[in-house]
Chains A and B, each alone.
Chain A
Amino acid sequence: EIVLTQSPGTLSLSPGERATLSCRASQSVSNSQVAWYQQKPGQAPRLLIHDASSRATGIPDRFSGSGYGTDFTLTVSRLEPEDFAVYHCQQYGSSPWTFGQGTKVAI
């Protein structure tokens, strides 16, 4: 099983700042099959990025993903007020699919 470790646990930033979130895998993720999700309190997660760097439908271009092998990054170029939330990474390159523990982006 691939274990995903997200860092930091909490990122304290202000609107307009850049957020950089890390997701490190315990072994290489096949075909960079990594997704990122945003989750707000009381809501289901929302898909932001798939295949490490492809934005999902309707996702603003301030969200970008990168990475290869074991190290993956989600970047929010300029935080909007609605971007303060918890972000989860997930790998679907090998079974069982697994999630990281989440990073909270807080004001």
Chain B
Amino acid sequence: QVQLQESGPGLVKPSQTLSLTCTVSGGSIMSGPYYWSWIRQPAGKGLEYIGRLYTSGSTNYNPSLKSRVIISVDTSKNQLSLKLSSVSAADTAVYYCARASDSSGYGFDIWGQGTTVTVSS
């Protein structure tokens, strides 16, 4: 059974780069076809799509974040990564990685538990 686990610093200073990793266990990140995504949720608010990486390697980003986001994969470690540059307090949120697969019509059928990131000096 595929499981996802996010990890990374819980505190990031303003203007710095937020870097998170999602480790995939129980299956290969490059089998599929799958979309591997990052989604975030500020406290008490709704979910925000950050971007996705297809098993072919192609990426798609939310236009509101596109200039600051890079999503990539390390196949040797079976990990998905997120880099968000020039962060501000508005980027404080719980960050989730999630998988969308054709067996679920490309809804997000597997989620990590989420990791809380606070942007503060």
- Taking the complex as formed, is B60 at the interface, i.e. its CB lies under 8 A from any CB of chain A? yes
Chain A residues, CB < 8 A from B111: 44-46
A-B contact count (CB 8 A): 68
Are A35 and B46 in contact, CB atoms less than 8 angstroms apart?
A: no
Q: Are A99 and B104 neighbours in the complex by a CB distance under 8 Å? A: no
Contact partner of A90 among B45, B52, B107, B113, CB < 8 A? B107
Stretch at the interface among A12-20, A50-58, A67-75, A77-85: A50-58
**Inter-chain contacts of A37 with B (CB < 8 A):** 47, 107-108
Residue numbers of B with Cβ under 8 A of A are: 37, 39, 45-49, 52, 60-63, 96, 98, 100, 104-109, 111-114
Decide yes or no: A98 and B49 within 8 Å by CB, A50-B106, A50-B107 being known contacts. yes
A35-B52 CB under 8 A given contacts A88-B46, A96-B61 = no
Number of A residues, CB within 8 Å of B: 26
CA distance in complex: A92, B48 (Å): 13
Residue ranges of A at the interface with B (Cβ–Cβ < 8 Å) = 1, 33, 35, 37, 43-47, 49-51, 54, 56-57, 88, 90, 92, 95-102
Contact B112 A1, beta carbon cutoff 8 Å: no
Q: Tell me whether B105 and A1 are in contact (CB under 8 A).
A: no
A47 touching B109 by the CB < 8 A rule? yes
